[in-house]
Amino acid sequence: MGKVEATPHVPGTQLIARIASLLRVLAIRNRTGARLIELCRDTGLERSTVHRVLQGLVAEGLVMQEHKSKRYRLGNSIYELGLAAAPRTQLRDLCQPMLTAVAEQTGDTVFLSERVGFDGVCLDRKDGSYPIKAFVLEPGRRRPLLVGCGNLAMLSAMDDDEVARICRATLSQVAERYARLTPEVLQERIATTRKNGFAYTEVLETSGVSSVAVCIRDPAGRPLAAMSVSSITPRLSGPRVAECVESLREAVREIELRLPLTSLAPTPP
């Protein structure tokens, strides 16, 4: 396979970071595709840089561009690489029956997220029958562990030293985008989640939407992933929160029984 050549003024590590940033944004927007202007905005890169890198990725089959709409999507080569890199036991496949069951029971949108280093990545989403959908996350969306209800459920299941390490690494980055998520607010959310045994938050990026989540632990008791339910806030309040939590807990118990003895969780950084 060929390579995208770095221009003399762009160090190799910086070029790799730019490529990774573009691929992650494309993963988030892959369902609808992404325009060049959207990729520039979401990555913070110059238009000329984004265009140059995209052309190299298209040439390698890692990205494709639709002829009519001019939108970019991930290419077939990414799929092939993903198959090669996939673990022997797929968490997403293992959880699908339970994810579907919770969506049918609650009627709302259900998400599966997994810890990857300092971030949480949305692995899957199932839509319930309720007509108003809460599309909080797309599969492939990556967010810092400090942000999001499923991520909060995982974060709260970690010990204080690990939480402090994650905060040191990501809190300043998170504060730039989520001004309301102060250290004090985060500590309060973690304490409440630990006390209740589940996470419940309003969605920061989408007004009027709330989520409830339960952590999934590996056989050693470590936080591996989380399952969450999202809906409009008036619907996800009062006694209905407890109903959704019970559905999630039942699904999580079944998932944990099916997990292999070897943890599926990636090694934290």
Residue 206: what pLDDT?
74
pLDDT tens for the chain, 269 residues: list them. Answer: 344 444 445 567 888 888 988 888 888 777 788 899 999 988 889 999 999 999 999 999 999 999 889 999 988 888 777 756 655 448 889 999 999 999 999 999 999 999 988 889 999 999 999 888 776 778 888 888 999 999 999 999 999 999 999 988 888 878 878 888 888 989 999 999 999 999 999 887 777 899 999 999 998 899 999 999 999 999 999 999 999 999 999 999 999 999 886 545 443 44
Residue reference for tokens 């070029």 = 15
Of 198, 242, 224, 65, whose CA–CA distance to 53 is shortest?
A: 65
d(CA 217, CA 157): 9
Residue 268: what pLDDT?
43
pTM for the whole thing? 0.69
Residue 26: what pLDDT?
87
Residue 111: what pLDDT?
95
Distances (CA, A) of 225 to 188, 189, 243, 265, 266: 21, 18, 21, 8, 11
Residue 80: what pLDDT?
72
Q: Which CATH fold would you assign to the domain 88-258?
A: Beta-Lactamase (3.30.450)
Residue 152: what pLDDT?
96
Residue 136: what pLDDT?
74
Let me know: does 155 contact 148? Beta carbons within 8 Å: no
CATH number for the 12-80 domain, one of 3.40.50.150, 3.40.640.10, 1.10.10.10, 3.30.565.10? 1.10.10.10
Spell out the domain ranges in the chain.
12-80, 88-258
CB-based burial, 248-269: b 16+ in 10 Å, e otherwise: beebbeebeeebeeeebbeeee
